Each structure stands twice: as C-alpha cells, then as structure tokens.
Structure 1
C-alpha cells in the first residue's frame, strides 16, 4: 500500500496509524445500543433481505414409559422434533464523507486531517447506534414489531359498535408467527388475539393511515379490523389495545396506557411533593423479574438498562432506591451522578433513548431493560475482505470501513475522508419458548427486553 500520493505532512500520520486510532477513538466514545447486539457475518448483497431460521426446544417428558409397549425396534417411542422460528434481516449500506482542502488548510492540515477522522468516527458510532435503537424499539421490515410493538391505544372513540378501530400505532399487530415458525401477515393467518379495553377480540387485518398521526416514536397510526364488533365501552378514546403476543411494557403505578401517566406535583424535597409516574427501582426490578421468568441470559453477569438522564434523576429521587443504595459503594454514585450496577442491572445512560412529546403530563421517557440475544447485528462479509486500492487507504475499524482517498481533482488539492458500513439489525423471536417448555415464560414473541415508560 503506497502513501506517496498523499501530502508529506500526512504521511507520518498514516504510516504510524494515527488516523485509524483517531477514527477508532470516535467509535469507542460511547457505550450504547449496538453493544448488546450479537454479531453475525452475512454473505448477502446490499439491498437483500435474508431469512434466518433457528430451532426451538422440545417439551419435557414427565410420563413414564409403559413397559408393555417397550417392544419392536422403536421400543414404543414415537419420534418428535423441535419447532423452528424465523427472523428476517435486511442488508443496507450507510456512509458519509468529508473533504479536506490541502491548500486552504495550510499549516493546520495534519490537525484537520485527524479532526476529520475523529468526527467521522463519532458520526459512524452515532449512526449505527441509532439504527440499532430503531430496530430494538421499532422493529424492522418483515418483523413482528419492536419492543414497543403490540401495545397502543384507541385514538378515535366509537360512536357505535364497529369491527374497525383506529389506533395510535399498528406496529406489532401487522404480522405474527404461524405454526411452522414463519412470520406472516395477520391477513394470511387465522387471526391474532387482541385485548381492546376489557375484552378480547380477533384481529383479521391491519391498514396503515395514509397520513401518519402516531404520537409514538417511530410509530405508524392505522386501523385494526376485527372479526366481531368492538363495543362502545371498549372502543372509548384512550382505551388500551394490547396484542396477546406483545412484548412487556411497564409503567409506574400499573398505568395501562402512555396517556395515563401522571406528572409529579409539589416541590421536590418538600412535604407536599408527590413523585408521580417517574422511574423507580421497583419498576426496574419488575422488568428484571420478567426477564428471569423467561430465562433470558444476562450480558456479562447483568441485564442492561438503557435510559436517559431524566429517568436516572427519577431513580435518585426514588425512596426505595435510596434505601437499597444507602451505604453501598460509598457516595461516589451520587457525586458522579451515575449508577454502575445494582441488583443485577447495569444502568447505562444514553442520549439516544427515544422521547415522546407530552400527552398532557409531560415528556414521556422510555428505558429498556434487556438481556443477551435481544438484537442481532448482521455485517456484510464482503466489506471485511475489500482489498486496499492503489488510490485510497482503507481501514476496517470494528466492521466499519474508513476510506481515505488521495487528491484526484485537477489541482490535486481535495482529499476525501469517508466511512461506510454494510449490514443491518434484526430482532430474533422466542415464540417457541412457551409455558410448556418453561412454565414461568410468557406468550410474547420478543422476550429478551422490557420497555419502561415514565415521566
């Protein structure tokens, strides 16, 4: 690999690896959603959607064999097999570039060169982290919805009983996993059981609104069509609409919908202060209990809780949290304003946590508590094997390709510094893990994460 075509001021930086280290420093500046993804290498091309199949388990055997049937070659046994389920992953390319003018930068060209690399690294990190977050909360193309899916509310009250109900978010209602483990649309199945208000109905089709009015982050408003008419009481505006296979969404004080969250009142520290529906440690522990009941594995010994700093502030104001943390780890936690680990949960503050505009009580914050396997990252195998070009410097930093191109313009003045990543994120389901396999498990398709909504 030759670097003779680059300006002399930059050749020592490239030769000693400063450029790659500066780009890598940007990539490692924040631990966030991408950190929980299991990495897999996929050989498919850009733009392709691939379907992956993974096996389930078999039900335990608790009935003894009948000695009188222990005959012949099969010994009275009937072969059984494990179930399968599928998830889809789309491979796309993401990237950006920045130019460096050798003439205009003058004596500062080396500093600007490294600054551009660092900026590209930070941008690449934030881009992949946001793509991972969107997949985690919002799902992806061809999936069963993200960890916010299957949990919404009625937006337009029914004047009379009807088979159609307008809802704020149709994610998690559009597709389901059939008996053979395939993800199919609701219209191609026997229907999905959905609880609207206080009663269960069978969902037969979903229609997205041409003009999206959803208030949920990454949400899509639409209409649910049921096999039987929904009563006026169940179809009241704001009534909860929850799929039978929806991921668990927790809210303080057992609020049924996002709009029911109640704001704190009074002045903090005074006798008239009421916490309202801010994040408390008991809600986090309820999420941990749900993950453990589904036997979700931890990540390096603890579940990860991604939350923003306002939710973290709610923890510090929570009485149970103060009691649990009293005397533990000294007072560094309160001085630093962060929590490292508590009761099997690793709290990770992030500025990428999705926020929702106020529905009357204040901005809605969402944390997610998740375990290993909640997210799959697919990296394009071809990007890892790209040869170095004679006219560019290519570095592979954690699956992200950093490309530095020598000046090719007529005046040999413009150096291009670029990055790209080819891959995608997917949410694998655990639909085959049911109470027959694990008695304490739930019916949720997505069992490896729990979303917590609070003010």
Structure 2
C-alpha cells in the first residue's frame, strides 16, 4: 500500500528512491539456426582447415549382361567407380569478455558477477546462431556459396552486347566443383552455365566491386564475365541471372527476381493489379516438393524445419489456402498462439534472426528457409575443453555445448579486477550433393546445394 497511509510521523524515516537489488533481463533474440547443424569434432594438430569427402553412389545397372560376353575372368563386365565431392571446413576463434572490479561489485546493489555471466552466455548463443545463419544463406569459407548463391539480377543495362555484366551478388558464381569433386575458382575451370535473362551463357570469371553496393544480405556486388557476348535484351537491368547449379529460390506468383516482388495495389507485367506477394502455402508446397524430389532426409520428428520472421508468418496466416487447411478444430492452436506448429510435413519456427533486407521499391524483403537433415555441418575444436586448463592458474573453466566460459583471476596490482569471457573455436560448412544426380535419383535437381530451399516474399503489416 502507499506510504501515504502510514502515520505522518513515520513517513520521513521510510527511505525511498533506492535502486532495485536485482538486474532485470533485457529482450533477446529468438534463435534456432544452429540446431539443424550436424556436429563433428575438428581434430587437434591438423591445421586450420579440414577437407571432408562425400562419396556418391553407383548408377543402377539396368542393362542385362550379354551372355555372349560372359567369358574370361571379367565375365564381360567392366569396373566402374563412384564419384566423390569435397567440402572444406575452416575453423576460427570467436569470443567476448567483460571485466569486473570486485570492490565495485562488493558495494553494488546487485550481483554483477552473475549478471555478466548470464549476458555472456546469451552473447555466445546468439553469436553461434548468427554464424550458422550466415553460413546457410551466404555460404561457408572456401565453399560454393550459400542457399542464396547463384541467384541474382543485372544491376546496369548494357550499352551494347558485351561479355561483362554487372550484378547485385556474385556469391555462388565465384567457385565451381571440378570433375574430381574439388572446389576450384571459376577462372581455373571450363566455366559455368548461367542463364541471363532468356539466354544461356558460359561464365568464365567473377570479380567483386571495389565498393560493395549489393542489396542482398551480406551480398557482394560485382561483375560477371562470359565467354561470349550477352545481348542487350538479356543484359537489361532487373533481368534474372541464375547459375545452372544454383540452389532453389522460390518467390510467390513466379517472380523471377527479388526486385520483381510486388506489393498490394501494384501492377504486374500484364497490367493486372496484384494482392501482394506474401508467403503462400503454394510456395511452401513447391519447396516441399523440391526437397522430396532430391530425397532430402527430414529432421527430428519426421518434418522439415522452416525458419521465418514474424512478418512473413503473418503473411502466411492471411493466405486463403492456409485458412482453409486450418479451418475448424484444427486451427485453434496455430491461430491462438502463433507459435511453433507443424503443417504439411513442415515445422514452422518463428525467429528474430532471419536476415532482413531494406525495401527494393515494393517493401522489405523477407526470406524463409526450409531445411532438411545434413544441410549444415558444425565443426567444433576437439581439444576445446582442455585448451586452457593448464594456463588458468586458479581460474575457472566451464565447458558447455562446446563453448568455454572462462573466469580469470585478478592479475592487477591490487588484485581487484577479474575477467569473465567466453570462447568457441570452430566453423560451419555446407556440404554439397552434386553426386546425387539424375542417374542416381531421377527426380534430383542439378543444384550443388539441395538440402534447403529459400522462399523470398514481402512481409505483411499488422
């Protein structure tokens, strides 16, 4: 009750205006991307990178053996070999630290030591989740690009037919898999087949701009060089540029580029007023079909995981097909909570870490990503828990989820200032699946990266 109800003689002795004796938690991100990564230990004493090999399968032998050739020691058969492909996992060290003066902490109104430790833990989790997200969308080091790679647009119309085309993002065009399954620079290969506008051309070089002007999240603007001239019609600003080995990127209503997405009330190429390119069930079904055509394994619970932001999820809730599927008794949980739910073999997981992109004219661009098992590899330094044990000299180390939380004793002259830190040594990589071709899986696509599908759309406003 209010102190105004106390006797007037007692009110002056009631001390007011003191700080609360406990810290209040601030808002934090909603995470999830790291949870899909397959963990592997990065052995000690092998250097900064490790190259792993994925073995393909043998093509089905559907041709009958010729009885007339069933002679000698080989019985008329010729030896075959399975194909391989490689990916490189690079490790780096990440961490953060805070200092704490024990004298100051001792006279404070709350336990700053515990608050620091809590915030460092949150910082570590968010850092690793963002590294996982960046690898999924943008690609790991020494890789073939992420799930946004190989899919961009022309940014400057050609004055005349020429071999050099300016594009918004060169990720996915810089490297290629050799016949031996190794990742090599595009200039050291025979080239890459790329569709520019309506034509197909052979890419022989990719150079980043001195000043990055890409509008894609963490994109790299630059120039693509082809072996033959690109026509002016194909090299017109806004035309789609898609590598033959690019991962699948879907957009509502068949829009060919990110800049082609239209907001409600805008007119399409046919002059028809559109209702807005929001996330739809049909786009989700197309992504689901592509994953199943490539026989991508599901994650836990037998479902694929879809990470999306709340604005994109709001657009899905407005889709007529979604409303129809959730009509009646099946719609209560999803509509009442708007939290994680399963639908059509997909688990929808809202996150605040989904990459954001500024408006390209129609509005902000949002990107959901649907992931299957094996899409992401996390390499953790195997010796992490023992790396600091012999050098702590009275400090404390806690090894949690492959992250080390380290408390260093005071080393200053007055022995007052201790350091609280976290450290992780590791990296993320995207394994390729080029060996899973149409010979092995007749419905497979030609993409290097097959285990995720990105869906670009506009977001819905509340």
Please give the TM-score of this superposition, normalised by the length of structure 1: 0.90
Kept after mapping to 1: 8 A contact 2:265/2:275: yes
SS of the residue 1:200 aligns to: strand
Superposed, 1:288-303 pairs within 5 Å as 288-300=288-300, 301-303=302-304
* Aligned residue-pair number: 424
Superposed CA offset, 1:316-337 (max 9, x none): 1111001111235451221212
Alignment CA distance shift 1:356-1:410 (3 Å): same
CA offset digits 1:300-350 (Å, max 9, x no partner): 110010100000100111110011112354512212122411110011111
| 2:139–2:146 contact (8 Å) kept in structure 1 | yes
Matched, 1:427 2:430: yes
Mapped contact 2:33–2:132 kept (Cα < 8 A): yes
In 1, the alpha carbon distance for the partners of 2:59 and 2:110 equals 64
**Mapped pair 1:417 → 2:389:** no
Measured in 1, the distance between the counterparts of 2:31 and 2:40 equals 19
SS of residue in 1 equivalent to 2:34: helix
Q: Is the 8 A contact 1:45 1:380 kept in 2?
A: no
Question: Residue deviations 1:111-139, cap 9 Å, x none?
Answer: 32221111011100110011111111001
Aligned to 1:363: 364
Distance in 2 of aligned mates of 1:405 and 1:42: 26
Moved more, 38-47 or 131-140: 38-47
Q: 1:45 to 1:237 in 2, by over 3 A?
A: farther
**8 Å contact kept, 2:199–2:234:** yes
Is 1:393 matched with 2:421?
no
TM-score by length of 2: 0.88
Indicate yes or no: 2:446 matched with 1:443: yes
Name 1:180's counterpart in structure 2.
180
Distance 1:64 1:280, change over 3 A: same
C-alpha contact 2:29 2:126 (8 A) present in aligned 1: no
CA shift digits 1:283-302 (9 cap, x unpaired):
11110110000000000110
Alignment root-mean-square deviation, CA: 2.0
Determine the C-alpha separation between the residues in 2 that align with 1:111 and 1:320.
Answer: 52
**In structure 2, what is the equivalent of residue 304 of structure 1?**
305
Q: CA deviation at 1:390?
A: 3.2
What is the SS of the residue equivalent to 2:40? strand
Deviation at 1:47, TM superposition (A): 7.4
Residues 44 and 221 (structure 1), Cα distance of their counterparts in 2 relative to 1, 3 Å cut: farther
C-alpha separation between the residues in 2 aligned to 1:239 and 1:29? 36
Mean Cα deviation higher: 286-295 or 405-414? 405-414
1:92-103 to 2 correspondences below 5 Å: 92-103=92-103
Report matched runs for 1:217-232 at 5 Å.
217-232=217-232
Structure 2 runs not aligned, ≥5 long? 1-24, 267-272
Larger Rg over CA atoms: 2
Contact 2:51 2:88 in 1 (8 A): yes
CA gap of 1:46–1:416, structure 2 versus 1, over 3 A, is: farther
Partners of 2:51 and 2:359 in 1: CA distance: 38
Are residues 324 and 307 of structure 1, via their aligned partners in 2, closer, same or farther at CA, if it must alter by over 3 Å? same
Partners of 2:274 and 2:64 lie apart in 1 by 58
Structure 1 SS opposite 2:383 = helix
Residue number in structure 2 paired with 1:141? 141
